[in-house]
């Protein structure tokens, strides 16, 4: 039976319809979240909202996985149980969905990391190490890397649609629509596992997750764009590699959708960078979008006067390793250097702060 086409959310049209119904709360909690216990903790004031925002960075996504694994090791809790909202751009979008995918698969971040590395070898056509030959041979019949990536995600998660993922944590990944990002200034499009009628960003949830992953990782020059229901999607990493600011906008819209009179405190906003530095990409961002560091400075200003907000950015840009988006020969070195830098005093202090909040 064919799946229904994605339901695009026009926030302004839906907002008007709901206003016409004289409904003070735009979102019903029973419908919005099946796991209401965690949200109740926030709404009752027992703790603040917790957010995880993940930058894109191609194969440097292994850095993200190592950081997330370290948080799990220190807290003894899964990432999905530690945050209320998780979001990402490009490969960060893939890792944003990882906790939900792992939960459905009864798997672990370690297995997901291994699959990500194996997939990277195939995608970027590097010599394949002996230990992953059996994996890549399984997918050798797929003519293009795009076919391979979609098959890879489909094998891990099946035909699961985005809005059929576990309802908590809330998750979104960012894409651009229609024209490539350098040809227009269109607003980002959010693939969500929740509805947010007050959001200023359009989005969809009734889409197979393997299609979503293809859409948000369709990096220009590397992969062809993805067309779903007559709309074409591109990787948004060139212009919005750091999704933190959009995440803050989404949270504020969520509070409005709940009909709350004031914004609730955010007791942890964790932004994870991949240390991605590219002269070409940085030049393009200087013309068309915001550099991740610029977004970081904006977040520092925006969260300064917000109640009880602990904003932390971990961005191991000082690894001393220059990598291109698909330069997978550097993966072992990236992992080695990331493990070392997480043991430095600065990063240990940040990790302790993060984990203390999660365990409170």
Per-residue pLDDT, averaged over 319-346, amounts to: 79
Pick the catalytic residue from 55, 118, 235, 267: 235
- CATH entry 3.40.1090.10 includes domain 11-359: yes
Residue 185's Cβ-side half-sphere holds a number of Cα atoms within 13 Å equal to 5
Of the listed ranges 120-129, 155-164, 182-191, 339-348, the least confidently predicted one is 120-129
Q: Which residues of 134-147 are buried (b: 16+ CB within 10 A; e: fewer)?
A: ebeeebeeeeebbe
308 is catalytic: no
Domain edges within the chain: 11-359
Instruction: Give the CA distances from residue 103 to residues 108, 233, 248, in Å, rounded to whole numbers and listed in that order.
Output: 8, 27, 25
Of the listed ranges 146-150, 178-182, 307-311, the least confidently predicted one is 178-182
Digit-coded pLDDT (tens) for 239-254: 888 899 999 999 888 8
Q: Which pLDDT score, from 0 to 100, does residue 132 have?
A: 40
Quick check: 203 pLDDT over 80? yes
Structure pTM? 0.80
Q: Which pLDDT score, from 0 to 100, does residue 95 have?
A: 94
- Dihedral angle sign, alpha carbons of residues 23, 27, 31, 36: negative
In the DSSP assignment, the letter for residue 145 is H
Contacts of 308 (CB under 8 A, 6+ apart): 48, 265, 266, 267
Peptide bond into 169 cis (omega under 30): yes
Six-digit token pair at 191? 């693939």
Q: Which pLDDT score, from 0 to 100, does residue 93 have?
A: 94
Q: What is the spatial distance between Cα 266 and Cα 281, in angstroms, rounded to a whole number?
A: 32
Pick the catalytic residue from 82, 90, 120, 256: 90
Q: What is the spatial distance between Cα 314 and Cα 168, in angstroms, rounded to a whole number?
A: 24
Most confident of the ranges 63-72, 270-279, 287-296: 63-72
| Torsion angle, alpha carbons of 214, 246, 11, 41, to 10 | 100
Q: Which pLDDT score, from 0 to 100, does residue 303 have?
A: 66
> Phi and psi of 176, rounded to 5°?
-105, 155
Per-residue pLDDT, averaged over 203-211, amounts to: 91
Point out which residues pair with 9 in neighbouring strands.
203
Q: What is the spatial distance between Cα 98 and Cα 150, in angstroms, rounded to a whole number?
A: 15
Residue listed under structure tokens 């019903």: 28
Q: Strand 266-272 to strand 49-54: parallel, antiparallel, or no bridges (unpaired)?
A: parallel
Average pLDDT of the residues of the chain? 75
Contacts of 129 (CB under 8 A, 6+ apart): 121
Q: How does DSSP assign 253-318, residue by residue? A: HHHHHTT-SSPPPEEEEEEE------HHHHHHHHHHS--HHHHHHHHHHHHHTSTT--EEEE--GG
Point out which residues pair with 175 in neighbouring strands.
189, 235
Per-residue pLDDT, averaged over 102-116, amounts to: 84
Per-residue pLDDT, averaged over 67-94, amounts to: 95
Per-residue pLDDT, averaged over 147-151, amounts to: 70
- How does residue 287 score in pLDDT terms, banded at 50, 70 and 90? very low
Digit-coded pLDDT (tens) for 26-68: 444 444 444 556 777 777 777 888 999 999 988 888 999 999 9
Q: What is the spatial distance between Cα 219 and Cα 234, in angstroms, rounded to a whole number?
A: 7
Contacts of 268 (CB under 8 A, 6+ apart): 48, 50, 51, 83, 310, 312, 354, 357, 358
Q: What is the spatial distance between Cα 42 and Cα 58, in angstroms, rounded to a whole number?
A: 34
90 is catalytic: yes
Point out which residues pair with 334 in neighbouring strands.
none
């Amino acid at each position: 039976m064919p799946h229904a086409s994605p339901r695009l959310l026009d926030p302004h049209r839906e907002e008007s319809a709901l206003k016409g119904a004289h409904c003070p709360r735009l979102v019903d909690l029973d419908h919005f979240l099946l796991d209401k216990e965690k949200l109740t903790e926030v709404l009752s004031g027992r703790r603040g909202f917790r957010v995880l925002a993940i930058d894109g960075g191609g194969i440097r996504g292994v850095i993200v996985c190592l950081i997330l694994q370290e948080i799990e090791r220190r807290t003894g809790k899964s990432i999905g149980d530690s945050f209320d909202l998780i979001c990402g751009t490009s490969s960060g979008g893939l890792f944003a969905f990882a906790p939900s995918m792992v939960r459905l698969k009864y798997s672990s971040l370690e297995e997901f990391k291994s699959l990500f590395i194996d997939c990277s070898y195939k995608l970027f056509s590097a010599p394949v190490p002996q230990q992953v030959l059996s994996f890549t041979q399984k997918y050798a019949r797929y003519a293009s890397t795009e076919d391979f990536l979609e098959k890879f995600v489909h094998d891990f998660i099946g035909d699961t649609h985005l809005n059929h993922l576990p309802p908590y944590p809330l998750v979104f990944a960012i894409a651009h629509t229609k024209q490539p990002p350098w040809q227009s200034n269109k607003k980002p499009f959010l693939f969500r596992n929740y509805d947010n009628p007050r959001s200023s960003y359009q989005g969809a949830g009734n889409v197979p997750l393997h299609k979503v992953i293809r859409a948000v990782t369709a990096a220009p020059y590397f992969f062809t764009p993805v067309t779903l229901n007559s709309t074409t999607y591109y990787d948004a990493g060139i212009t919005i590699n750091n999704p933190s600011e959009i995440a803050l906008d989404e949270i504020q819209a969520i509070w409005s959708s709940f009909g709350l009179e004031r914004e609730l405190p955010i007791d942890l906003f964790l932004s994870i960078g991949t240390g991605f530095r590219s002269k070409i990409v940085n030049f393009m961002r200087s013309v068309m979008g915001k550099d991740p560091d610029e977004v970081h400075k904006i977040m520092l200003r925006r969260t300064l006067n917000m109640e009880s907000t602990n904003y932390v950015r971990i961005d191991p840009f000082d690894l001393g390793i220059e990598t291109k988006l698909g330069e997978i020969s550097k993966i072992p070195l990236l992992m080695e250097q990331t493990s070392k830098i997480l043991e430095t005093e600065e990063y240990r202090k940040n990790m302790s702060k993060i984990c203390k909040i999660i365990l409170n």
